[in-house]
Amino acid sequence: MTAQTIILIFTLVIYLIIIFVFNKARIKYAGGKVGKVINLILVTVCLLFVADYVIIFDTAVDPEVLETIRSLFRTAALSFLAYGGAKVANS
């Protein structure tokens, strides 16, 4: 196993724990501001997950294209979190 594979497995475990915990919290705290914040966190984590794991296509796609896609997903995650957080704060 390479170091990159070990890091990807470790981050996969962390992502799965975050998604599992916040999904359980979403069920418990449905509705209201807390529910909206939990949904924001879940969508952000899912977008960051996709950004981190776009690397599995490294044999089929040019590395520059992969880096662009990765940057777009990271930007989308942070933008979604910022915009959603502003909306929740104003409500």
Average pLDDT value for residue range 8-23: 93
pLDDT band at 58; cut points 50, 70, 90? confident
Is the pLDDT confidence value at 22 over 90? Answer: yes
Which whole-number Å values give the CA distances from 36 to 51, 70, 78, 84, in the listed order? 23, 26, 16, 8
Question: Domain residues of the chain, as ranges?
Answer: 3-90
Mean of pLDDT over the chain:
91
pLDDT at 67: 94
Q: Which long-range contacts (CB under 8 A, 24 or more apart) does 16-23 make?
A: 18/45, 19/45, 19/46, 19/49
Mean pLDDT across 23-49? 91
Predicted confidence at residue 47, as pLDDT, reads 95
